[in-house]
Amino acid sequence: MSPLFMSLMLLAGWGIFIWSAKRRWVLMNIGPAEPRWDQPGRRLALTLKFAIGQARMPRYGWSGVAHILVFSGFLVLLLRSLILWGRGYDASFNLFIFGPEQPLGMLYAIFKDTFALLVITGVLIFAYYRGIKKLPRLTHTTEGMIILVIIFTMMVSDILYDAAHMVRSGAYHRIEYAGYLLSGLLKQAPDGGLAILEQLGFWMHSGLVLLFLNLLPYSKHFHIITALPNVFFQNLQPVGRLTPIHDMEGRIEREEPLGTSQIDHLHWKHLLDLYTCTECGRCSDMCPANRTGKLLSPKHLTIHLRDHLYSHQKEVLQLDSSTGGDTKTPSRLSAAPLVSNELIKPEVLWACTSCRACEQECPVFITYVDKIVDMRRHLVMERSEFPEQLQNAFRGLESSGNPWSYPPDSRLEWAEGLNVSSAAEKPDFDILYWVGCAPAFDARAKQTAAAFAKLLNHAGINFAVLGREETCTGDAARRAGNEFLFQMLAQQNVETLNRYQVKKIVTTCPHCFNTLKNEYPDFGGKYEVVHHTDLLADLVQHGKIKPTQSIEQNITYHDSCYLGRYNEVYDAPREILRAIPGVQLVEPELTRDRGMCCGAGGAQMFKEEEHGQLRVNQERTRQLLKVLDEAPQRGGCAVATACPFCMTMLSDGLNDRERSEVQQLDVVQLLAKSTGL
């Protein structure tokens, strides 16, 4: 072939790519430090499973399959590109061991042709989704189609090159079967034409690879490179734990940011997230806010942040690189603030329910809740700008330790006549029942607390409650961005819990559960925390609770985000329901880790819902009613929950839809009923 031309092409192709990549690298490191090298073994295992092993792909049906085809084809054909580049210098170059007569080469030839064909299949599936089906979750740009055409052409040109080469040299390698089959068609062609075809196939393939490489840093296909590190450096902390801001007062003194207000407040892993987004739209497809017509679409949030970052690339790169990655300085960018009507509107951030459906769905492990809360932190603590109704909740938490400002003295009203002791009265308890604000004050959730206490007494569990010494865990305050208030509450609660030397805690609220379990360890509170459904399922299994009375109903269980996606408690509530005689459990279409949020999380419970077409709870109720209505009718039906907020949201939803004949109960209430309590 032509060594000179190949050298020029390689030099230009790799040179420009390295230049682009270096700029992206510097850009990525403008934010604060973020250590992500802990547990390398586990990281490697996750990378092998999810990046190399593509373990999340089957979840996505045919487009997932197509991705596996294209991805594995790329891995296999990487070698082929190297070989072809080498042949620019020496037409018989085969990377020393991959010659068509050598055993490894023969094996590789089969692989190469098979995977080239599989890539073509994958590309055709993608093209179908893009061009014909026009899947709404995708971003429909010409870029997407161009890339598909490039990949397709790379594959075809390679096979063409093989075929033309075989005919011209007369060395037919049947093992390169795709090329061999095609060569049959070319046999009659004049040699001049064949020479052109051979050259064309060769240069197209080896050149397009370089073109493709150079498009990556400027397109959503950057993920081909960045997805690997993005999976490797993913957050290994419990997903329910938000990163605490330490020494807030000191930070204010030193004028350091308390939240994210500028693009360079995002650390490198957050920026790597932005590079890696494939714009597949699966996050927004599952997002309850987006599904109900709110302004929030997680995919677009990422894209807006990424475009903002790229559009300030020049400015950022001019910043003195010696201070790059310095967390101490306030934003060094003069760029417009991130949260503004021009860029990310506040109502986008306030629409998030922190349900994590987006994160569960994202193929490349991009996180959202942390970024959204960080921007809320800025709004609440630095700008004091937030939905008006939240002020009531904040003030209630400050003055009365609960978001509704109920007098703390009335925390135990639900327990009257139920033989419930406080920790002060009974310090030798085995397990502390952390009641939570909703079960303590909300009329309907109080019944959950009462049913649970009855069951505990029935099963002979030695438990106590904190009573007026309990205050809100601060979950809602934290997710609303009021980290300061959250830490005040957390410190106070940890002090109380440690004073009573609490070892084990059970909660009836998934929000309390998550915060106590995953967030209080950061504040010196380390306990064994269980959710009431886990504890009860265990008691049922061991025969300490015997549900005997039949409940002849179709029941659908609604997964609470903070129980399910946040803490992977999916089975315990279902086991309890199955243990109740007569109960027929029916699953909604969106269930378990795809279960849709009720709309209450992320402090939504304490504010008006953002503007949209529908309320989240109305949509979720519709889904639940659908499965109940489609099931063969029996004695009646019910929606079961295991979270007091879900309870409020879904019973409101049922009322809105005028379906009050459908019961709405906590799993524990159903169990108590069947146990005759």
Residues lying near other proteins in the complex (CB under 8 A): 248-249, 252-253, 258, 381-384, 386, 388, 391, 394-396, 399-400, 405-407, 409, 484
**Binding of ligand SF4 at residue 475 (CB under 6 A)?**
no
Q: What are the structure tokens assigned to 508, written together?
A: 């009836």
Euclidean distance between CA atoms 500 and 464, whole angstroms: 11
- Which phi and psi angles does 344 have, rounded to 5°? -110, 110
Q: What are the structure tokens assigned to 145, written together?
A: 């189609």
Write out the binding residues for ligand SF4, residues 430-459 only, by CB under 6 A: none
Write out the binding residues for ligand SF4, residues 252-291 only, by CB under 6 A: 277-283, 286-289
**Binding of ligand SF4 at residue 355 (CB under 6 A)?**
yes
Cα–Cα distances in angstroms (integers) from residue 45 to residues 53, 228, 268, in the given order: 10, 12, 22
Residue 388 binds which entry of ligand SF4, other proteins, none, with Cβ cut-offs from 5 to 8 Å by kind?
other proteins
Determine whether 273 is exposed, middle or buried from the number of CB atoms within 10 Å of its CB (0-12, 13-18, 19+): buried
The residue from 356, 377, 532, 574 that contacts ligand SF4 (CB under 6 A) is: 356
Q: Specify the residue, 81 or 261, whose C-beta has the smaller distance to other proteins.
A: 261
**Binding of ligand SF4 at residue 595 (CB under 6 A)?**
no
> Do residues 82 and 95 lie in contact, with contact meaning Cβ atoms separated by under 8 Å?
yes
Determine the Cα angle at 383 with ends 381 and 386, to 5°: 80
Euclidean distance between CA atoms 547 and 540, whole angstroms: 8
Q: Specify the residue, 82 or 135, whose C-beta has the smaller distance to ligand SF4.
A: 135
Q: Specify the residue, 230 or 402, whose C-beta has the smaller distance to other proteins.
A: 402
Q: Specify the residue, 394 or 570, whose C-beta has the smaller distance to other proteins.
A: 394
DSSP string, 343-360: SB-HHHHHT-----HHHH
Q: How many residues bind ligand SF4 (CB under 6 A)?
A: 29
Per-residue DSSP letter, 402: S
Q: Specify the residue, 285 or 470, whose C-beta has the smaller distance to other proteins.
A: 470
Determine whether 106 is exposed, middle or buried from the number of CB atoms within 10 Å of its CB (0-12, 13-18, 19+): middle
Q: Specify the residue, 248 or 631, whose C-beta has the smaller distance to other proteins.
A: 248
Applying CB under 6 A, which part among 358-366, 482-490, 539-547, 637-645 lies near ligand SF4? 358-366
CA 642 from centre of chain: 22
Per-residue DSSP letter, 641: E
Q: Shortest gap between Cβ of 233 and ligand SF4 (angstroms)?
A: 15
Determine the Cα angle at 146 with ends 141 and 148, to 5°: 105
Q: Specify the residue, 215 or 248, whose C-beta has the smaller distance to other proteins.
A: 248
Residue 178 binds which entry of ligand SF4, other proteins, none, with Cβ cut-offs from 5 to 8 Å by kind?
none
Q: Specify the residue, 206 or 292, whose C-beta has the smaller distance to ligand SF4.
A: 292
Residue 469 has, within 13 A of its CA and on its CB side, a CA count of: 20
Residue 248 binds which entry of other proteins, ligand SF4, none, with Cβ cut-offs from 5 to 8 Å by kind?
other proteins
Q: Shortest gap between Cβ of 142 and ligand SF4 (angstroms)?
A: 18
Q: Shortest gap between Cβ of 14 and ligand SF4 (angstroms)?
A: 27
Euclidean distance between CA atoms 271 and 627, whole angstroms: 41
Q: Specify the residue, 95 or 248, whose C-beta has the smaller distance to other proteins.
A: 248
- Which among 572, 587, 584, 583 is positioned nearest to 626, based on CA atoms? 587
Residue 352 binds which entry of other proteins, ligand SF4, none, with Cβ cut-offs from 5 to 8 Å by kind?
ligand SF4
Write out the binding residues for ligand SF4, residues 302-331 only, by CB under 6 A: 302
The residue from 150, 352, 440, 649 that contacts ligand SF4 (CB under 6 A) is: 352
Euclidean distance between CA atoms 508 and 531, whole angstroms: 6
Residues at the site binding ligand SF4, with contacts judged by CB under 6 A: 277-283, 286-289, 296, 298-299, 302, 352-358, 361-364, 366, 368-369
